[in-house]
Amino acid sequence: MQLKGRVAIVTGAATGIGLATAKLFLERGASVVICDLNREKLDAAVAELSKLGAARGYIADVAERAQCDGLAEKVRSEFGRIDILVNNAGITADAQFYKMTEDQWDRVLNVNLKGCFNMAKAVILQMMEQKYGKIVHCSSVSAYNGNFGQTNYAASKAAIMGMTRVMGKELGKHGINVNAVAPGSIMTDMYAAVPEEAKQKKLNAIPMRRYGDPEDAAKLIAFLASDDAAYITAQTITIDGGFN
């Protein structure tokens, strides 16, 4: 019960890594609030999570600052504190650079990068007042490898790494740890949509010869959100079976 009594927000958590993280947080004693944009999937996730503990779900677009502030206020009103933020929400809109539209660029950067900014801003004063907080951003090995057709996605995930370094340095004196995880090929709905030929090529290049499960990433996130990682901050930790 490493997270007993903690209150966590996990964004983009109706499926995949976010949902697996919310489950693990609940199993370890935390109260969990998740957000997503898909009402049907969100309701199904909350029904599943509620069997494990105190779980709430809200529709919120992390690209919209007002909605992030509103979500944080609901959490403060109900639970009285916010201890953990996992910025997991992310999207893709792939295209080769010469074909990529401004809309594709803006949508991905607004969700993946600005979404982290918006949610962190929404919770940071509460964490500073508490003199305690754990923020975990979700980056990607795409930031290192530059996956074909993902200029926008790779740029957003690389920027998260830089954001993490600075936030960790600035907020350490307030008792707040800020770290990031960089997952590789984790078998989520998003990754399942990758063409089979490309997935097989990637699999052959992974030393552990398997894709990661969402639970693999969730365990790393849960570690960084716990006091076992009390002296770790401003870091990005890769979890990719040795691919990078």
**Residues with active-site annotation:** 153
Distances (CA, A) of 203 to 19, 62, 197, 218, 244: 24, 32, 10, 21, 12
Terminal CA-CA length for the chain: 32
Identify whether the C-beta of residue 30 lies closer than 8 Å to the C-beta of residue 39.
no
Distances (CA, A) of 133 to 81, 168, 171, 179, 220: 10, 11, 9, 11, 17
- Using H for helix, E for strand and C for coil, what is the string for 164-191? HHHHHHHHHHHCEEEEEEEECCECCHHH
Report helix, strand and coil shares of the chain as percent, to nearest 5.
Answer: 50, 15, 35
Q: The tokens of 141 are what?
A: 């090995």
Q: The tokens of 64 are what?
A: 């919209």
Q: Rounded to 5 degrees, what are φ and ψ at 243?
A: -65, -45
